[in-house]
A and B are shown apart, each in its own frame.
Chain A
Amino acid sequence: MAGTREIPIFAHHLRALFIMAQTQEVLDNVIIKFAGDSGDGMQLTGTQFTNTAALLGNDLSTFPDFPAEIRAPQGTLAGVSGFQLHFGSVEIFTPGDYCDVLVAMNAAALKANLRNIRKGGTIIVNVDGFDAKNLRLAGYGDVNPLENGSVDNFRVVKMDVTKMTRAALDGSGLGVKEIDRAKNMFVLGYLYWMYNRSMEHTIKFINEKFEKKPDIRDANLKVLNAGYNFGETREEATSRFSIGPAKIAPGTYRNIMGNQAVAIGLIAAAKKAGLQLFYGTYPITPASDILHELSRHKNFNVKTFQAEDEIAGICSAIGASFGGALAVTGSSGPGIALKTEAMGLALMLELPLVIINVQRGGPSTGLPTKTEQSDLLQAVYGRNGEAPIPVIAAATPSDCFYMAYEACRLAIDFMTPVMLLTDGYIANGAEPWMFPKSSDLPDIKVNFAKNVEGEKFLPYKRNEKLSRPWAIPGTKGLEHRIGGIEKQHETGNISYDAANHEFMVELRENKVEKIADYIPEIKPEIGTEKGKLLVLGWGSTYGAIKSAVLKAREKNIDVTFAHLRYIRPFPKNLGEFLKNYDHVLIPEMNRGQLIKMIRDKFLIPAIAFNKVQGLPFSAEEILTRIEELSKK
């Protein structure tokens, strides 16, 4: 472990040159899962490996897998924290199904993930995490899974990370606790060796992060190198792998998570529209990160308001919208349920409002940290009265940016609340993003109503989009009252007239349907305009369906993939489009919600494929279903 202390980067380069001469296997994609106790630093390890992969030009997709409990007891299954990374020299659409490599820092991490390792995959274990106590805490009793045949189908690399970390830092003057905290660097170093990666990025990161704590900085660098050297000096023959850069579109990329993308999309829309952004919300998993991200950007005129509950969250946003701000509220599961009455108000007031639902497993508290698409029918139909609200859905982490932006555009253009659906999977998942220039983003035009001398102001007079004027307080001559009671056409005065009510109900519906004239038509993402089988997706199933359809087409199966981003209204050509295929398969992480809408509206015998496990589809599951159907 000696010899790397002085000039780490240089030493590493020399070694890399030497290693080039050795044989190594070239892979086109790899799935690694880092798993350990919450305190083991697996998220950081995963992120570092990810950033390095990105800088080396790999395509990638990641997904963190946090424990539901904040401080679950150490060593238990409940305390396992994971980070899955899928990277390659080919295009990557999902964080991957089964991992090729599992890093298990303790017995619980192995137990929690054993099902998800590919046969023949590699398990890197920290043997120190498999002592009697850890085995007991993981529920293995006194049987060690490393010794009873449980892992016979895998290649197991055992290392005593704790011991080697301590040895590397012997004499460093640091306490045992601090030393042990560097354990993850050992694993990271080893994986860098195994995948033949440059450590430059991580070394730079450590240097910056611990700039003010030189002893911790040196310790981390030392252990990182120790892990790398362990790979080289190990006597057992372990193969190394190399993964070249991917052929992805040239351009400048960054990494982006879905919730972060939503936040940036909202800020961008506000900036383009020339409005202040107001976000009224109440903390809830997995939506809270939108609030966290927005509250960091107050210099963009972003006002975040952590209200006393979700009702106050949306109502404060309605107040802000009445005042002329770009108003947004966001929540998940039970929080969205609480907002429903106020959504009805917003649609009666016909004020712009964006409601973000980061869906999670339900019903009730359900599975707060898991993903699901089971709020679609609630979004479309779940309010009292005839209460149509446009509903759109993001497909991937970076798509969250564009759909958040789009939600704002529609809300302002059509003076309506708009519901944006994302879910826990893309909210926390990350992918590289060729971010746009601000000048490339479409304009959002805001025309606040002005007083016209001699003309009576009619707050519910409509334009060609059936949209009413946005007349904000402070505008002389436009004093008027709005409310949730049914109103007379144009004047907005209270009206209980029967015919007027029916007229207004239809008008509000027509307004939402009119949006179809201003959104893109649906077309195949992959495949042909006509064919045997269409897989129709919406929301976060995008990546899994795309991977599956690409694989199926390699096998010469006639299958097309199309994806819905606009759910209410549907794209104008959807009905015609669906008729071009003999069969339509609709995979959803619910009991079949989009399919109900499709069958209802287009009367076609679409085929449902449902999964409600709090987990995303694997590409393999969808591929299998496609193969079955192709034999029909």
Chain B
Amino acid sequence: METTTASPDKFTAKELVTDQEVRWCPGCGDYSILKQAQTVIPELGIPRENIVFVSGIGCSSRFPYYMETFGMHSIHGRATAIASGLKATRPELSIWLVTGDGDGLSIGGNHTIHLLRRNFNLNVLLFNNEIYGLTKGQYSPTSEEGKVTKSTPMGSVDHPFNPIALCLGADATFVARSMDRDPKHLQAMLKRANDHKGASFLEIYQNCNVFNDGAFEVFTEKASKKKETLFMESGQPLVFGDNNELGIKLDGFTPIVVNLNEGASANDLWIHDDRDRVKAGILARFFDNPRAAGEHHLPRPFGVFYQEDRPVYEEKMIAQLDNMKAKRGEGDLDALLRGRETWTIS
């Protein structure tokens, strides 16, 4: 989401720290996300009193308590709906929604897709740790098939959601992915989410070192990161690999990995365009499980998959109010009480 800049009194990252003791497990990926948010937000030029963090329930949803802004820690899955009502009535506020893979995609999945299609101008940060952290380790709607957890001793039989594909399917106007272990990228994505006018959906891979440690290891660890991740930048070719020697080429609608050192031409590579909805759909499907897939699997994309400009809900709502006021004038309470037809008894 994008918010207009008044001339706010400046504040620092430190001033965004609250007096509450942070209760996440040591080593939890949530710490990094909090840190990056506290670093980026003072740079956005938004008056601090206009910033609101709204969350549901989960480890991730503790977030607002640690942010010295306005905040609400609500109920499981409903932060999306709460933020919708807040934005509808207070469009000038900068609203940040913090949710988990269980909170935002399971119990609150319905609200998430509706928020995105309506396109309220706010930011949704989905901390995806592929597990239910707060309830101590059950599988979540993003856990891979076969996942062994407390509630699935024989492995989960659920097919997982692909959150990016889901949000594109819901006609989100900004869809991006980042990770806790790449502070720079995460900061950049938080800024991009804020810059976008409309509902910005940012999926953040977050390590739960207690119940699902290493879920994203292949994407975050030095040894494998370059080969397994694809950092998308609009206008740039899709390249990856230790020395960016690998690239993605489209063969019809089928993406294939080519090696620039083995005769492939850089000119044939797919140039990323984050305003291309069809290609965003293909990128969303770069979703191979690197541990289960064969050698020639596709890397996992990070960055902005897609964005578009579409009128935001709260402004359309206000336009209707203005329209009716222009037609009928400001509401006259006595006329409303009187109604259309009256009679007098004397």
User: Which residues of A approach B to under 8 Å, CB–CB?
Assistant: 51, 54-55, 57, 245, 248-256, 264, 267-268, 271, 276, 278, 280, 297-303, 305, 307-309, 311-312, 315-325, 327, 341-342, 344-345, 349, 435-438, 472-485, 493-494
Known: A271-B331, A478-B49. A278 touches B88 (CB 8 A): yes
Distance in angstroms between the alpha carbons of A583 and B266 in the assembled complex: 94
Known: A248-B345, A254-B339, A308-B110. A341 touches B75 (CB 8 A): yes
Q: Does B338 contact A (CB under 8 A)?
A: yes
Q: Give 11 A-B contacts (CB < 8 Å), ordered by A residue.
A: A251-B345, A252-B338, A298-B323, A301-B331, A305-B85, A307-B114, A308-B111, A315-B84, A327-B85, A342-B75, A481-B65
Interface residues as binary, B46-65 with A (CB distance below 8 Å gives 1, 0 otherwise) = 01111110100100000011
Q: Which residue of A lies closest to B94 (CB)?
A: A473
With contacts defined as CB atoms under 8 Å apart, how many contacts are there between chain A and chain B in the complex? Answer: 208
Q: In the complex, how many angstroms separate the beta carbon of B242 from the nearest chain A beta carbon?
A: 45
B69 touching A252 by the CB < 8 A rule?
no
Q: In the complex, how many angstroms separate the beta carbon of B193 from the nearest chain A beta carbon?
A: 19
B331 touching A299 by the CB < 8 A rule?
yes
B331 touching A473 by the CB < 8 A rule?
no
Q: Which residue of A lies closest to B49 (CB)?
A: A476
Known: A252-B344, A254-B338, A493-B20. A315 touches B333 (CB 8 A): no
B333 touching A473 by the CB < 8 A rule?
no
List, in ascending order, chain A residues with CB within 8 A of B49's CB: 473-479
B346 touching A250 by the CB < 8 A rule?
yes
B321 touching A473 by the CB < 8 A rule?
no
List, in ascending order, chain B residues with CB within 8 A of A256's CB: 339
Q: Which of A315, A345, A485 has the most CB of B within 10 A?
A: A315
B337 touching A299 by the CB < 8 A rule?
no
Distance in angstroms between the alpha carbons of A280 and B343 in the assembled complex: 34
Known: A54-B343, A308-B111. A323 touches B89 (CB 8 A): yes
Known: A479-B69, A484-B74. A322 touches B345 (CB 8 A): no
B85 touching A299 by the CB < 8 A rule?
no
B344 touching A298 by the CB < 8 A rule?
no
A315 touching B18 by the CB < 8 A rule?
no
Q: In the complex, how many angstroms separate the beta carbon of A268 from the nearest chain B beta carbon?
A: 6
Q: Does B203 contact A (CB under 8 A)?
A: no
B337 touching A438 by the CB < 8 A rule?
yes
Q: Which residue of A lies closest to B57 (CB)?
A: A484
Please give me the 4 A-B residue pairs with the lowest Cβ-Cβ distance, nearest first.
Answer: A316-B85, A483-B73, A300-B331, A319-B85
A253 touching B345 by the CB < 8 A rule?
yes
List, in ascending order, chain A residues with CB within 8 A of B20's CB: 493-494
A252 touching B85 by the CB < 8 A rule?
no
Distance in angstroms between the alpha carbons of A474 and B343 in the assembled complex: 47
User: Which residues of B approach A to under 8 Å, CB–CB?
Assistant: 18, 20, 47-52, 54, 57, 64-65, 67-75, 78, 80-90, 92-93, 110-111, 114, 317, 320-321, 323-325, 327-331, 333-334, 336-339, 341-346
A315 touching B81 by the CB < 8 A rule?
yes
Which of A57, A271, A474 lies in contact with B333, CB distance below 8 A?
A271
Q: Which residue of A lies closest to B326 (CB)?
A: A299
List, in ascending order, chain A residues with CB within 8 A of B75's CB: 315, 341-342, 344-345, 484
List, in ascending order, chain B residues with CB within 8 A of A321's CB: 85
Q: Which residue of B lies closest to A316 (CB)?
A: B85
B81 touching A299 by the CB < 8 A rule?
no
List, in ascending order, chain B residues with CB within 8 A of A436's CB: 337
Q: Which of B47, B54, B78 has the most CB of A within 10 A?
A: B78
Distance in angstroms between the alpha carbons of A271 and B333 in the assembled complex: 8
Q: In the complex, how many angstroms separate the beta carbon of A623 from the nearest chain B beta carbon?
A: 28
Which of A255, A305, A315, A474 lies in contact with B74, CB distance below 8 A?
A315
Q: Which of B86, B92, B111, B330 has the most CB of A within 10 A?
A: B86
List, in ascending order, chain A residues with CB within 8 A of B323's CB: 298
Which of B52, B85, B327 lies in contact with A320, CB distance below 8 A?
B85
Which of A250, A253, A323 lies in contact with B90, CB distance below 8 A?
A323
- List 12 additional contacts besides A298-B321, A484-B75; criterion CB under 8 Å: A51-B341, A57-B345, A278-B89, A298-B320, A303-B88, A303-B89, A303-B321, A318-B74, A435-B338, A481-B70, A483-B65, A484-B57
Known: A250-B345, A474-B93. A494 touches B88 (CB 8 A): no
B69 touching A319 by the CB < 8 A rule?
no
Which of A320, A322, A475, A478 lies in contact with B72, CB distance below 8 A?
A322
Q: Which residue of B lies closest to A493 (CB)?
A: B20
Q: In the complex, how many angstroms separate the beta carbon of A404 from the nearest chain B beta carbon?
A: 13
Q: Which residue of A lies closest to B344 (CB)?
A: A252
Known: A299-B321, A308-B110, A319-B83. A276 touches B344 (CB 8 A): no
Distance in angstroms between the alpha carbons of A479 and B72 in the assembled complex: 11
A473 touching B88 by the CB < 8 A rule?
no
A320 touching B70 by the CB < 8 A rule?
no
Distance in angstroms between the alpha carbons of A309 and B110 in the assembled complex: 9
A253 touching B342 by the CB < 8 A rule?
yes
List, in ascending order, chain B residues with CB within 8 A of A298's CB: 320-321, 323-325
A312 touching B89 by the CB < 8 A rule?
no
Q: In the complex, how many angstroms separate the beta carbon of B335 from the nearest chain A beta carbon?
A: 10
B329 touching A479 by the CB < 8 A rule?
no
A481 touching B50 by the CB < 8 A rule?
no
B18 touching A253 by the CB < 8 A rule?
no
A481 touching B84 by the CB < 8 A rule?
no
B52 touching A473 by the CB < 8 A rule?
yes
Known: A271-B333, A298-B320, A322-B82. A481 touches B88 (CB 8 A): no
Q: Which residue of B lies closest to A51 (CB)?
A: B341
Q: Which residue of A lies closest to B337 (CB)?
A: A435
Which of B71, B321, B334, B338 lies in contact with A481, CB distance below 8 A?
B71
Known: A254-B338, A308-B114, A309-B110. A320 touches B73 (CB 8 A): no
Q: In the complex, how many angstroms separate the beta carbon of B17 from the nearest chain A beta carbon?
A: 12
List, in ascending order, chain A residues with CB within 8 A of B325's CB: 298-299
Q: In the complex, how many angstroms separate the beta carbon of B77 from the nearest chain A beta carbon?
A: 8
Known: A303-B88, A481-B71. A254 touches B78 (CB 8 A): no
Q: In the complex, how many angstroms separate the beta carbon of B124 from the nearest chain A beta carbon?
A: 14
Distance in angstroms between the alpha carbons of A381 and B255 in the assembled complex: 59
Known: A349-B72, A438-B333, A493-B20. A278 touches B85 (CB 8 A): yes
